[in-house]
Structure 1
Amino acid sequence: MATTPIMILLFIGYIIFTIDKKKENFPVPLILIVVGIGLSFIPYFSSIEVTKDMIYHVFLPGLLFTSAYRFSPNALKRNAGIISFLATIGIMLTVLFLGWTIYVVSGLFVSLSLVGSMLIAAMLTPTDPVSIVSILKKSSGDEMMADVVEGESLINDGTSIVIFTVILSIFLHDKTFSIRSFLGEFLFVSIGGMLIGLVFGWLFSKAIHITHHKEYQVMLSIVLAYGIFNTAEHFGVSGVLATVFAGIMLSFEFNRSLQEDHFRESLDGFWSVVEISILSLLFLLIGVESTSYLAFDYWVLASLIFVASLLVRFLIIAGATQTFPVWRHTINWRESLLLSWSGLKGSMSVFLILNLQAQEAQGTELILSLTFAAVLLSLVVQSIGIHPLSKKLLNRG
């Protein structure tokens, strides 16, 4: 992408972040997407090409690292059980039940294969609550809800890529699904990414003592965020999980030392700017890119898929939390509904969509349009609804 469009998009993002005064009801990312859709009708912007590599290797590492090192170690300890469940078993069950639901419902409109339906479900399972976590904390006053939503999203990105890759291989090459091979690949990719992230995160937390210059320490954090991502991908394991666990390890190590407050301030100063810059570009580009997919005749089906994704997620969360006593006393049906609503789709879903598009396989046009439409509905409806819903369900304000 040329430099000039990037600068223009960043300036638009700056304007929107600056003038927006109603973040509770209209989250900035939603406004950015709407503006992006409008920009797509201007020839200068409609020619912008958004690639999967751009999102995966440029945007995601920075966003993941920022969220991970800021995530409270104490919050992770307190909610490790429910976060781990939702990001692993929960996401697998979601793909299974949502895929089957899409297959059944789509029969009323168009012919979709079961594997194609599972592929849509796999692209809709990763959550991206970056735009609503702060809203959730302010409107509900419940830190635990926000911590679970944020913690789940950090880990389930890696899980979703593995599931998507397996289903995509079956879709493209007509392979037979094997639970044994799937679990083997899942464990290798996931555990490998986690271990690399933990090791390098620990090494980095020690390496900052080599120099006391804040600028050099921040430079080292850039190397960690992007270097560990690409190193893990080079070895065939999850770069997403490597970056996430490197950030989490960094947070754990710094949480144990009061001497690192100045480093946290420097880190926050740099990565906060990076985060809002990436978010501005990302959501504007999602809006620009989505327009070409949205001119199709199956919006009713896309809406039903979106509703089904919410319903399936709620049933899995409510079922799990009510089945296990350890969660039953802390998460009731109202909080289960709020957790379900908070799992809106975003950058990872768009990356998976662009990944499928890059395959240039026959019969994917409808799958791409249905998925992109469902993602857009999720971003619009769920982000607008999170504030009033949390107020109503948790009886706050």
Structure 2
Amino acid sequence: MTSSQIVLLLFIGYLVFTLDKKQNYVPVPVVLVVTGIILSFIPYFSSIHVTSQMIYHIFLPPMLFSSAYRFSSDHFRENAGIITFLATIGIMATVAILGSVIYAISGPFISMSFVGALVIASILTPTDPVSVVSILEQSGNSKKISSVVEGESLINDGTSIVIFTFIAGMLIENESFTVMSFLQDFLIVSIGGTLIGVAFGWLMSKAVHITHNREYQVMLSIVLAYGVFNFAEQVGVSGVLATVFAGIMLSFEYGRTIKENDLKDKLDGFWNIAELSVLALLFLLIGIESSNYLAFNAWGFAFMIFAASLFIRFIIIAGTTQIFPAWRKKISWRESTLLSWAGLKGSMSVFLILQLQSRSSGDNDMIISLSFAAVLISLVVQSLGVTPMSKKLTK
């Protein structure tokens, strides 16, 4: 991708964002993805090739960090139980149930192995709220729901990578699977990434006092976002969770010890612009790349997969919140419905699809196409529906 292509894509992203200038909360990711698909038919943009490593190492760290450091530590503590459950046990249960359903209904459409169905399920489990959080807060005035959605999405990105890696290894390389080996690796990768993130976030909160120059302090936050991600990946633990918990730790320290409001204003000033720029590029590139896989004859099955993923997510959220009395008081069935709907698919799902594509030799093209289609359906349908649903359910 050339510098001129990047500049043009950023300008197109700017034009799309201006659609929201009256704060009507246009589902910007949908518009960006559709625009990207249209751009893929223009020779100048059709040459762009998006790789999984490009998304993982360039786009994800700033998106994760900017969301995490602004995520209220008070809201995290208040909803820690629900967030942690949905991002760990909930996501594992979703993969198992959704994979079984996909395999059971695949017969009339395509020939698919059970492991292949589990791979699709693992791709569709990470959530990506993007603009959904601001839409929820504005249209339904539900800070609790938006906090759970955002907190879950931050943590389940790391969980989904571990689950996907195991199942994709079974599909592509015929690796064996044992519950103990999975749990062992899962705990090492997850806890290791979390501890590294907490440590680096704490160090950052102390290091900002070395200099009183706000521009230098913002520069240090960039080093933290990318540095902790790559360091964690180098030592074999989750870079995603390391970046997320570095940001959350920084948010905690802001509330406890760091009282300089102008520092947070400087950070917000930079990261708000960086997040919008990354968001525009990423979803335009998702549209351009996905166009290569959308010409297939199983769109009906893709819609069924999307519907099944939404229904199963609702069953798990509604079921678990009703089982535990403390959660039952917090989350009603209406809020469970909204939580389910707000968990749309996005950047992490696309990374997993491209990761599968890079590891495959062409024999998993149908899985890739179905996954891309289900992600796009989720983006369009759920983004368009979240505003009327949140207004109706939170009256």
Q: TM-score range by the shorter chain?
A: over 0.9
Instruction: Report the CA distance shift for 1:302/1:23 in structure 2 as closer, same or farther (over 3 A).
Output: farther
Report the Cα offset of residue 394 of structure 1: 1.7
The share of aligned pairs that are identical, in percent, is: 64
Q: What is the CA distance between 1:20 and its match in structure 2? A: 3.2
Q: 1:259 & 1:385 partners in 2: Cα distance?
A: 39
* Corresponding residue of 1:257: 257
- Per-residue CA shift, 1:287-338, capped at 9, x if unaligned? 1111111100000000000000000100000110011111111211111110
Is the counterpart of residue 208 in structure 1 residue 218 in structure 2?
no
| Residues 177/258 of structure 1: CA separation in 2 closer, same or farther (3 Å cut) | closer
Distance between the aligned counterparts of 2:49 and 2:203, measured in 1?
Answer: 38
| Alignment partner of 1:380 is 2:380 | yes
Q: CA deviation at 1:13?
A: 0.6
* Aligned mates of 1:47, 1:175 — CA distance in 2: 35
**1:230-269 mapped onto 2 (5 Å cutoff):** 230-257=230-257, 259-269=259-269
Deviation of the 1:22 alpha carbon: 6.5
Question: Partner residue of 2:315?
Answer: 315
Aligned residues: 395
Report if the CA contact (8 A) 2:61-2:243 is conserved.
Answer: yes
For residue 257 of structure 1, report the CA deviation from its aligned partner. Answer: 3.0
- Find the aligned partners of 1:23 and 1:374 in 2 and give their Cα distance: 28
1:174 match: 174
Partner of 1:106: 106
Aligned pairs (5 A) from 1:163-202: 163-202=163-202
1:159 corresponding residue in structure 2? 159
Q: Give 1:25 shift.
A: 5.8
- Aligned equivalents of 2:381, 2:19: Cα separation in 1: 22
Aligned 8 A contact 1:99 1:114 in 2? yes
- Tell me, which stretches of 5 or more residues in structure 1 are unaligned? none
Query: Aligned partners of 2:11 and 2:306: how far apart in 1?
Result: 32
Deviations 1:191-249 (CA, angstroms, capped at 9, x unpaired): 00000000011011000100000010011000000000000000000000000000000
Q: Residue type of the partner of 1:106?
A: S
Cross-structure match for 1:306: 306
Separation in structure 2 between the aligned mates of residue 23 and residue 36 of structure 1, nearest angstrom: 23
| Contact 2:199 2:246 (C-alpha < 8 Å) held by counterparts | yes
Question: How far off its partner does 1:83 sit?
Answer: 0.2
Farther-moved stretch of structure 1 (252-261 vs 281-290): 252-261
Are the aligned partners of 1:24 and 1:135 in contact in 2 as well (CA < 8 Å)?
Answer: no
Equivalent residue for 2:335?
A: 335
Q: Distance in 1 between matches of 2:13 and 2:121?
A: 31
Q: For each residue in 1:84-140, what CA deviation from the matched residue of structure 2 results, as whole angstroms up to 9, or x when unmatched?
A: 000000000000000000001111211110000000000000000012110011111
Stretches (4+) displaced over 2 A: 19-26, 257-260, 360-363
Tell me the CA shift for residue 275 of structure 1.
0.2
Structure 2: gaps spanning 5 or more residues: none
Equivalent-residue separation in structure 2 for 1:260 and 1:342 (angstroms): 34
- Give the stretch that moved more between structures: 365-374 or 172-181: 172-181
* Structure-2 separation of matches of 1:167 and 1:287: 26
How many angstroms apart in 2 are the aligned matches of 1:393 and 1:157? 27
| Partner in structure 2 of residue 51 of structure 1 | 51
Shift of 1:258: 5.3
Q: Name the CA distance, whole Å, in 1 between partners of 2:207 and 2:394.
A: 44
Paired with 2:109 and 2:38, the residues of 1 have a C-alpha distance of 29
Tell me how far apart the structure 2 counterparts of residues 333 and 25 of structure 1 sit (CA, whole Å).
Answer: 25
1:75-94 to 2 correspondence within 5 Å?
75-94=75-94
Q: Which moved more, 1:138-147 or 1:25-34?
A: 25-34
SS of corresponding position for 2:292: helix
SS in 2 for 1:130: coil
In the alignment, the residues of structure 1 paired with residue 342 and residue 367 of structure 2 have an alpha-carbon distance, to the nearest angstrom, of 24
Aligned partner of 2:350 in structure 1 is 350
2:19 corresponds in structure 1 to 19
- Could you tell which deviates more after superposition, 326-335 or 337-346? 326-335
Residue equivalent to 1:40: 40
- Secondary structure of the 2:260 match is helix
CA–CA separation in structure 1 for the residues paired with 2:360 and 2:85: 34
Asked if structure 2 preserves the Cα contact closer than 8 Å seen for 1:313 and 1:340, the reply is yes
* 1:21, distance to aligned residue in structure 2 (A): 4.5
Q: Deviations over 1:329-348 (max 9, x none)?
A: 12111111100000000000
Q: Equivalent residue for 1:119?
A: 119
Q: Deviations over 1:235-269 (max 9, x none)?
A: 00000000000000000001113522111011001
For 2:325 and 2:352, locate their aligned partners in 1 and report how far apart those are by CA, in whole Å: 36
Going from structure 1 to structure 2, the CA distance change for 1:268 and 1:261 (only over 3 Å counts) comes to same
1:23/1:135 contact within 8 Å kept: no
Q: Distance in 2 between matches of 1:293 and 1:264?
A: 42
CA contact (8 A) 1:25 1:384 kept: no
Letter in 1 for 2:123: M
1:97 and 2:73 are equivalent in the alignment: no
1:267 & 1:33 partners in 2: Cα distance? 28
Query: What is the letter of the counterpart of residue 43 of structure 1?
Result: P
**Residue 289 of structure 1 corresponds to which residue in structure 2?**
289
Cα contact 2:19–2:26 (8 A) shared by 1: no
**Greater alpha carbon shift after TM alignment, 57-66 vs 354-363:** 354-363
Looking at structure 2, the residues matched to 190 and 258 of structure 1 have their Cα atoms a distance apart, in angstroms, of: 28
Letter in 2 for 1:105: I
